[in-house]
Amino acid sequence: MPFMFPYQRPRRLRKNPTIRRMVRETSLSPDDFIYPLFIKYGKNVRKEIKSMPGCYHESVDMAVRHAKEVYSLGIPAIILFGIPEHKNETGSGAFDPQGVVQKAIRAIKNKIPELYVITDVCMCEYTSHGHCGIVKDGDVLNDPTLELLAKEAVSHAKAGADMVAPSDMMDNRVEAIRIALDGEGFPEVPVMSYAAKYASAFYGPFREAAESTPQFGDRRTYQMDPANRREALKEVALDIDEGADIVMVKPAMTYLDIISDVKESFDVPVAAYNVSGEYSCIKAAAKLGWIEEERAMMELLTSIKRAGADLILTYFAKDAAKLLNR
């Protein structure tokens, strides 16, 4: 008697690239990506960040050129991080109308008005101590910091930013920013909140890129404990109640469960940040010949989208877009 095979054979739908593409459940597009840029003072500055191959510190003029390239690949948005010429205890460069980010916003919107410009709103790049707010006796003070974050967000909006993205993890900062934006005549500027931002070991290369390493202690008193899952939903709910239009989970790769939980629990767009350490791990392993960079990159980005992210902030955006555009 011949062996009776089951009627269901999943391999039938894996036979060739065409059928695999036809039944694929999750698809990536350049529209999913937001590309980070690091802006410094000067002219004709374009210096590769050692721990993040393919990423650069750039002066405003070079960032405009880079932004044009990003837009030409079909990537709809960038997010700007600024490195000021001088830092101080209060991070006043963050809300200087002639600050490096404010200048970059104006220059980029002038040359590529269709490109959507998002700005990181935080104090760590601008403070001499490297923390995300006002420090007193070794503690980061929550409420006094809110006023500075609100001023920074308004200064970005005045320069022409399309969206602001607070990343500091101070309590109630979304509400403070929303009230400030509305009060200054910018009710149409959305807020993308870093709502569930964990105290992660994967931020190391970014701290070199943004020159924002804390000069003492760490950020565990305001960023989330990596062991906590339910707390992320609480943080997201609070930010939505305060007026966040988009909520973000950071990092992405090691927090796919959190992305999925947030997507299932809330009816707002969900962003995820494929952070510097995740990027650098793949770059380093590929350089050593241990993995195939393109396959690993696309597998990682697909996993983030599959988990529920509508938007992905990633340093891989350009490379991924080039593959997707083939």
What DSSP line would sit under 256-293, residue for residue?
Answer: HHHHHHHHHH-SS-EEEEE-HHHHHHHHHHHHTTSS-H
Is 250 tagged catalytic? Answer: yes
Is 217 buried (19+), middle (13-18) or exposed (0-12) by CB count in 10 A?
middle
Decide: 28 and 324 in contact? Cβ < 8 Å.
Answer: yes
Q: Identify the active-site residue in 103, 151, 250, 305.
A: 250
Is 302 buried (19+), middle (13-18) or exposed (0-12) by CB count in 10 A?
middle
Closest listed residue to residue 214, CA positions, set 198, 199, 196, 192: 199
Pairing of strands 33-40, 77-83: parallel
- Pairs from 128-131 (Cβ < 8 Å, separation ≥ 24): 128/87, 128/88, 128/89, 128/215, 129/89, 129/214, 129/215, 129/216, 130/212, 130/213, 130/214, 130/215, 131/214, 131/217, 131/219
d(CA 60, CA 43): 7
Q: Identify the active-site residue in 151, 197, 305, 318.
A: 197
> What SS3 state is found at 47?
strand
Residues with catalytic function: 197, 250
